[in-house]
């Protein structure tokens, strides 16, 4: 599904005085929430949702500052605040319990949800937590050179301003090892990230890198202690957070179900959505 069609089929809710793009697909008895990563949007899940909507009620949305949602330049883009907003969005949509599938930055939000669950601070019922190519073990995180430059207060803002469709495509190419993105896919990614100047916020979005490092201990403890069913479905050829994460999860989280997608990179749900939909269907049950 192209981006324009994805946006046309969605709706908006208001959270923190800002418009947030949302979608609800399917009408299954069980609800699955899909959390997207940086720097993209819920559209990453479109092909997977198309295949799962017959079995589940699929809920997705763009975080504040991403995709079709509002992009206030002075907002707080902390991952902790984005988690608060995610819960407010789900409440606005009437979602009180769900299995959650989270990619990249979405995995950070999901770790914070698990942490709050373990501390008894989560009103939302987290039925299952499935991580996809998220650096849940920060010691194994391998940020790209662009990410490292963007968080620098001197380099970051001009680098974000200089972003073009071509430089975006070049930076993403190593993250899709099994195939080259089509022109249409690159067009949609570019439209999504630069909508209302979204790429200018990237240095602020990447505050999550420091937050993840600072909160590594309690977040990893939550993974180890939780009784919430855990799943890991990762593209193993991801240079940022791939096979090493799955290996560590299998070694230290014996209660988790781990699965790898050989040859796939950081965005397996875009690169090979059929494989991801099959893998998720097995984990979701």
- The pLDDT of residue 144 is 87
User: Inter-axis angle of helices 207-214 and 79-92, to 10 degrees?
Assistant: 100
- The pLDDT of residue 247 is 97
Q: Are 193 and 39 in contact (CB under 8 A)?
A: yes
In whole angstroms, give the CA distance from residue 16 to residue 109: 18
By CB neighbour count within 10 A (0-12 exposed, 13-18 middle, 19+ buried), where does 92 fall? middle
Each residue's pLDDT expressed in tens, for the chain with a length of 285 residues: 999 999 999 999 999 899 999 999 999 999 999 999 999 999 999 999 999 999 999 999 999 999 999 999 999 999 999 999 999 999 999 999 999 999 999 999 999 999 999 999 999 999 999 999 999 999 999 998 888 999 988 999 999 999 999 999 999 999 999 999 999 999 999 999 999 999 999 999 999 999 999 999 999 999 999 999 999 999 999 999 999 999 999 999 999 999 999 999 999 999 999 999 999 999 999
The answer for residues whose C-beta is within 8 angstroms of residue 80's C-beta and 6 or more apart is 112, 211
The Cα diameter of the chain in Å comes to: 50
Question: What is the CATH superfamily name and number for domain 3-284?
Answer: Alpha/Beta hydrolase fold, catalytic domain (3.40.50.1820)
Can you name the residues that pair with 224 across neighbouring β-strands?
none
Say how many residues make up the chain. 285
Helix ranges restricted to H, the chain: 3-8, 46-52, 79-92, 105-118, 145-150, 156-161, 165-172, 183-194, 202-205, 207-214, 216-225, 243-252, 268-271, 273-284
Of 133, 141, 129, nearest to 234 by C-alpha is 133
The strand order across the sheet containing 11-15 reads 11-15, 18-25, 57-61, 31-35, 97-103, 125-132, 230-235, 257-261
Round the CA-based radius of gyration of the chain to a whole number and report it: 17
Q: Are 233 and 276 in contact (CB under 8 A)?
A: yes
Q: Which single residue is written with the structure tokens 């939909």?
A: 277
By CB neighbour count within 10 A (0-12 exposed, 13-18 middle, 19+ buried), where does 76 fall? middle
Q: How much is the pTM?
A: 0.97
By CB neighbour count within 10 A (0-12 exposed, 13-18 middle, 19+ buried), where does 11 fall? exposed
SS3 75: coil
- The pLDDT of residue 76 is 97
In whole angstroms, give the CA distance from residue 208 to residue 14: 23
User: Inter-axis angle of helices 216-225 and 207-214, to 10 degrees?
Assistant: 60
């Amino acid at each position: 599904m192209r981006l324009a069609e994805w946006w046309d089929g969605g709706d908006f809710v208001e959270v923190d005085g800002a418009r947030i793009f949302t979608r609800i697909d399917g009408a299954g008895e069980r609800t699955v929430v899909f959390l997207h990563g940086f720097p993209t949007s819920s559209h990453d899940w479109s092909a997977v949702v198309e295949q799962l909507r017959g079995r589940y009620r699929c809920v997705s949305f763009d975080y504040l500052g991403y995709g079709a949602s509002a992009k206030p330049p002075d907002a707080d883009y902390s991952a902790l605040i984005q988690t608060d907003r995610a819960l407010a969005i789900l409440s606005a949509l009437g979602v009180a319990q769900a299995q959650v599938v989270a990619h990249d930055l979405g995995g950070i939000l999901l770790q914070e949800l698990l942490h709050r669950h373990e501390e008894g601070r989560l009103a939302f019922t987290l039925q299952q937590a499935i991580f996809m190519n998220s650096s849940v073990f920060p010691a194994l995180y391998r940020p790209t050179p662009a990410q490292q430059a963007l968080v620098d207060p001197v380099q970051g803002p001009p680098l974000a301003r200089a972003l073009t469709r071509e430089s975006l495509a070049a930076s993403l190419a190593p993250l899709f090892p099994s195939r080259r993105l089509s022109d249409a896919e690159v067009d949609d990614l570019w439209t999504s990230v630069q909508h209302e100047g979204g790429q200018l916020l990237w240095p602020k979005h990447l505050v999550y890198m420091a937050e993840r490092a600072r909160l590594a201990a309690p977040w990893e403890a939550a993974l180890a202690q939780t009784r919430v069913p855990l799943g890991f479905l990762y593209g193993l050829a991801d240079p940022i957070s791939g096979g090493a994460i799955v290996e560590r999860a299998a070694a230290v989280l014996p209660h988790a179900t781990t699965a790898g997608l050989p040859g796939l990179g950081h965005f397996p749900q875009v690169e090979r959505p059929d494989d991801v939909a099959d893998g998720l269907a097995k984990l979701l049950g």
